[in-house]
Chain A
């Protein structure tokens, strides 16, 4: 450890060396290069200062900085991005306004809801898509177990639909889109959408109760109710009567 040159804040070259540190997040290669040039304590301090400049004087990690052995071990186990985020999260805990955005974090109740409705493979695909949209590196986990889970989610097996029922889209969604072109906004919001909403609610209830036959019946009844409500049946009735007259 002592082989490396320790640069502290009293050093006149501090300003320049701090500029040498690349913008966050640093890559593993950049971090290793920094560690070759400077002591781990100094690199850790610079990273912390860069990630939380308002709290530059605060030392949030145990012992004010992580040691070289600790850092090497951590980097051997986790990615550099992950380590950077752990460092940043440690500071964020004491500084809430610098909290990491939780856009990629899924809540437990959301996950339970998804798993109740879809197969685990499908949920995995949804999560993978969300991760790729937000940038896989922005996903945040605190701990080795979670990091392993992250690696599994980052590279799940190729998606293969199971034989189980997968709801691709709720019933009536296409009809709702078509109705946007056919009816006025008032008719759409007051008549068409409420009927479709009831249809979807009943359909999900039937599926939740594991009664697929009832779900099919609910679907047909919902379509028929919509058909009646928008008055198409009267138009057809009129056409049939005219046809009989002829």
Chain B
């Protein structure tokens, strides 16, 4: 079991897939989306089989939050789970974008120097 200090000092990590999910969710932060909607908007970068595993992991990390849709759809069946980004997720995504830009600048500088 991890100690609280280690947990507190842990740097948030964001994989490319998670960043893509956050990007799609942050297009309209106030609205909620379900997994299949994210898959459809990702231009085949996300797959049906893995989207909910990714979302589950992101929810554990605190990047997104979810709820079951209410009221249920007119057709019968299980209710869908809707996801939206948290404030923490939004900040992590913004920092991730800044870090990526810095990386690009560094690559460009190194390329120019050589």
Contacts and interface: CB of A to CB of B under 8 A. Distances in A.
Interface of A: 113, 117, 170, 172, 176, 186-187, 189-191, 193-198, 200-202, 204, 221-222, 224-229
B80 A229 contact: no
B50 A229 contact: yes
B49 interface: yes
Contact of B50 (A170, A176, A228): A228
Contacts of A170: 76-77
A197 B81 contact: yes
Contacts of A117: 75-76
A236 B48 CA distance: 19
Contacts of B52: 190-191, 194-195, 229
B49 A225 contact: yes
Interface size class of B (residues with CB under 8 A): 20 to 34
A226 B47 CA distance: 11
Interface string B19-49: 0000000000000001110000000000111
A229 B49 contact: yes
A194 B77 contact: no
Nearest to A170: B77
Contact of B77 (A186, A191, A200, A229): A200
Contacts of B73: 201
Contacts of A200: 75, 77-78
Contact of A201 (B55, B59, B66, B80): B80
Q: Which 9 A-B pairs have the closest CB atoms?
A: A228-B49, A200-B77, A225-B48, A197-B78, A225-B49, A198-B36, A204-B75, A194-B81, A190-B56
A31 B34 CA distance: 60
Question: Which of the listed residues B35, B73, B77 has the most CB atoms from chain A within 10 Å of its own CB?
Answer: B77
A12 B52 CA distance: 78
Among A194, A201, A221, A226, residue most surrounded by chain B Cβ atoms (within 10 Å): A194
Contacts of A197: 34, 77-81
B71 interface: no
A34 to B, nearest CB: 47
Of B55, B66, B78, the most chain A CB neighbours within 10 A belong to B78
Most B CB contacts (10 A, CB to CB) among A187, A195, A196, A202 go to A195
Contacts of A202: 36
B53 A201 contact: no
A196 B78 contact: yes
Interface string B69-113: 000011111111100000000000000000000000000000000
B45 to A, nearest CB: 16
Contacts of A224: 49
B14 to A, nearest CB: 19
B73 to A, nearest CB: 7
A190 B75 CA distance: 21
Contacts of A228: 47, 49-50
A229 B74 contact: no
A145 B36 CA distance: 47
Given A224-B49, A225-B49, A229-B52, A194 B35 contact: yes
B27 to A, nearest CB: 20
A48 B80 CA distance: 49
A201 B82 CA distance: 14
Contacts of B75: 113, 117, 200-201, 204
